[in-house]
Amino acid sequence: MSEQRFLITGALGCIGAWVVRCLAREGAAVATFDLAGDPHRLRLLMDDDELAQVQHITGDITDLGAFEAALQETGATHVIHLAGLQVPFCKADPPLGARVNVVGTVNVFEAAKRVGLRRVVYASSIAIYGLREEYPEGPIGHDALPRPRTHYGVYKQANEGTARIYWLDDGISSIGLRPYIVYGPARDQGMTSQPTKAMLAAALGRPHNIPFGGRSVYQYTEDTARAFIQAARSTFAGAEAFNLGGAVAHVRDVIAAIETAEPSSRGRITFDDKPLPFPAEMDGTPLEAAIGPLSVTPLAAGVQETVELFRRALAAGRLAAQ
Ligand SMILES: NC(=O)c1ccc[n+]([C@@H]2O[C@H](COP(=O)([O-])OP(=O)(O)OC[C@H]3O[C@@H](n4cnc5c(N)ncnc54)[C@H](O)[C@@H]3O)[C@@H](O)[C@H]2O)c1
């Protein structure tokens, strides 16, 4: 395992920071590739010694040459591509969203091809699907028809097509993972970051409204990171995008878990009773058949850990109250 060298795009983001933390803690060689920016999520999750193990490369994923140079400089054997703009940012600036999310992903595959890498793991999204009423009840299979309702979802669908063509034309294997609501420390931006913002509000003693309701799949940040790492290490051949399983819960259950973790928040975390525009449940079993079993932190435990980490970080001055 010691010869594995990971390069993580978007590593200053939420999932990226958790991937870097998990890899650094097991002593793996890991490098980041992200825009210039404050590494506040990495600092929230890692101490100075852990951070010192990580190589940082500043670069823009829309720049093919820059990413190819990063692959060469790091001698990466494993690539996890997480750089991207989330739903609100794509809506605000669709051409930029397309450059980062679509061209950026083409660049990752093209650079992999140029340096002879045979596998890429990348983040797709539940947002490739349409409204919950457009699908049958129950967990949605990974091959259910995409009907994206956002620019972001369309870009993610395009990326899955890009991955398939690099497999057909060039034999580059890939796994795309489609997370749903990732929650936990460092989840601080994007449409579905609100449950985590409610956990931070509880730790701060503040009220918070989650502007959606209904049942959804909740994935703890660390579980999500471990799924990406496991996919990157798998021997899967082909190009497939998989739904990621997790804890299926109503927003009410999330609020109840927050109130248990921080009793003073009782009655102060509210929600709007309108569901997210995606199916409620995902079938995560095909992914596990492809890469092996994955652990799912129970919602109550994930919320408890998150609130506790927020409390510790606030007390230590490692997390600014927003
Ligand atoms: N968080 C979720 O619930 C969720 C759900 C489904 C899919 N995803 C996908 O997972 C991936 C990671 O999500 P996240 O929550 O960590 O997002 P995030 O917004 O926290 O982080 C994204 C990172 O990408 C970087 N980035 C943006 N533009 C870039 C560019 N041009 N070049 C290099 N880096 C750039 C940002 O600086 C940031 O560090 C994204 O592709 C996202 O669409 C996330």
Domain presence at residue 257: yes
pLDDT of residue 322: 55
pLDDT of residue 321: 59
Domain presence at residue 322: no
CATH number of the CATH domain containing 219 = 3.40.50.720
- Residue 145 CA, chain-centre distance (Å), reads 22
Domain presence at residue 43: yes
Domain presence at residue 112: yes
DSSP string, 40-77: HHHHHH--HHHHHT-EEEE--TT-HHHHHHHHHHHT-S
Q: What is the mean pLDDT of residues 252-262?
A: 98
How far is 317 from 1, CA to CA, in rounded Å? 36
Number of domains in the chain: 1
Residues with CB under 6 A from ligand 1: 9-10, 12-16, 34-35, 37, 60-62, 82-86, 100, 104, 123, 125-126, 179, 181-182, 189-190, 192
Which residue owns the Cα nearest ligand 1 atom 7?
125
The 10 Å Cβ neighbour count of residue 34 is: 23
Domain presence at residue 143: yes
Domain presence at residue 236: yes
**Contact indicator for 286, 141 with CB cutoff of 8 Å:** yes
What pLDDT digit, counting tens, does each position of 161-170 carry? 999 999 999 9
To test the pocket of ligand 1, the residue of 14, 102, 122, 222 to mutate (highest count of ligand atoms within 8 Å of its CB) is 14
Closest ligand 1 atom to 99 CA: 31
**Contact indicator for 81, 125 with CB cutoff of 8 Å:** no
**Contact indicator for 142, 155 with CB cutoff of 8 Å:** no
**Contact indicator for 161, 150 with CB cutoff of 8 Å:** no
Closest ligand 1 atom to 122 CA: 41
What pLDDT digit, counting tens, does each position of 93-113 carry? 999 999 999 999 999 999 999
Q: What is the mean pLDDT of residues 121-143?
A: 95
**Contact indicator for 148, 94 with CB cutoff of 8 Å:** no
For the record, the structure tokens of 210 come out as 């989650």
Domain presence at residue 321: no
Query: What's the chain's average pLDDT?
Result: 96
Q: Which residues pair with 32 in a beta bridge?
A: 8, 56
Task: Flag whether pLDDT at 118 surpasses 50.
Answer: yes
Structural domain boundaries, residue 219: 5-315
Give the amino acid at 262.
E
